[in-house]
């Protein structure tokens, strides 16, 4: 049941993410990803998009039915790699690397199962490998902040107002907010509470660089999943930045809310099966 509560939400999220990303692409500004290796412009035709979406649906059905899992997971990995390469070549950086690597991690879990058919090990690895990928991405994100910014990541908290102003200006130019909202109360709050914001930045950095503790056991995985979710809520609250590939994958694999709901319901007496 635990795997089912991960597999169904993740494949639905994957289909939506890949299809909604692929359809609007109509040109390539500069080759990124695998599109740096060859000209991807011929792949932007409607016929090709239909073929890719059809293959995605076939692989998704196999994945849901737990059939040909090596083929289906590797197939979706290849589609994700191609679609997101096209997307970044189109000029949009959506930070989708973690999403693609999760499919590769699942592929390896089933590949190792073929060589060593241990069902218990498979159940662990097909969840644990993606969690390792997610945790590694957050840890590297934290370490990169230390590497590029050092201690200035903390004591330059006052400069967050510039990032907020930039985000508000972008929203204004996109027609999402009126001109008077560029200098919002949020910007003023950050400017007036520099020490508080420095503390939040320190906490966020500590959550990222210690996220490896989420690999210790199931409880720590859920705890760090919730901590990372709070980090994303803060990013969205202050900067209006939603990194969907990261936080949705993290919620599904680390918190697994549908499985927690299932466990909670089964603890309620009225839902327990009656025994003689």
Reported as a single tens digit per residue, the pLDDT across 130-149 is 999 999 999 998 888 788 77
Helix H segments across the chain?
Answer: 2-22, 46-64, 69-89, 97-115, 119-149, 152-155, 160-173, 185-192, 194-209, 218-239, 244-250, 257-267
Give the integer Cα–Cα distance in Å for 27 and 92: 12
Band the pLDDT of 276: cuts 50, 70, 90. very low
Mean pLDDT, rounded, of the chain: 82
Tell whether the torsion through CA atoms of 99, 15, 5 and 227 is positive or negative: positive
pTM above 0.95, yes or no: no
Closest by CA to 107, choosing from 61, 141, 59, is: 59
24 pLDDT above the threshold of 70: yes
């Amino acid at each position: 049941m635990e795997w089912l509560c991960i597999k169904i939400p993740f494949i639905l999220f994957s289909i939506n993410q890949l299809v909604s990303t692929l359809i609007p692409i109509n040109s390539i500004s500069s080759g990124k990803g695998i599109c740096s290796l060859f000209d991807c412009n011929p792949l932007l035709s409607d016929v090709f998009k239909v073929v890719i979406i059809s293959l995605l649906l076939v692989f998704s059905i196999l994945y849901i039915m737990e059939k040909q899992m090596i083929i289906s997971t590797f197939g979706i990995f290849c589609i994700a790699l191609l679609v997101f390469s096209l997307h970044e070549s189109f000029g949009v950086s959506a930070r989708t690397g973690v999403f693609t690597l999760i499919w590769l991690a699942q592929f390896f879990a089933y590949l190792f199962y073929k060589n060593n058919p241990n069902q218990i090990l498979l159940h662990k690895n097909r969840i644990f490998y993606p969690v390792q990928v997610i945790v590694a991405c957050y840890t590297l994100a934290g370490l990169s902040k230390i590497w590029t910014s050092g201690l200035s990541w903390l004591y330059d908290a006052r400069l967050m107002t510039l990032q907020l102003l930039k985000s508000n200006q972008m929203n204004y130019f996109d027609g999402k907010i009126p001109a008077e909202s560029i200098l919002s109360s949020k910007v003023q709050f950050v400017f007036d509470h520099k020490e508080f914001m420095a503390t939040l930045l320190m906490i966020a950095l500590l959550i990222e660089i210690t996220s490896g503790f989420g690999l210790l056991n199931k409880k720590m995985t859920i705890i760090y999943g919730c901590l990372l979710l709070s980090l994303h809520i803060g990013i969205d609250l202050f900067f209006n930045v939603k990194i969907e590939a990261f936080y949705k994958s993290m919620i599904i694999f680390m918190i697994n809310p549908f499985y927690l709901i299932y466990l909670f319901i089964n603890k309620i007496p009225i839902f327990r099966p009656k025994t003689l």
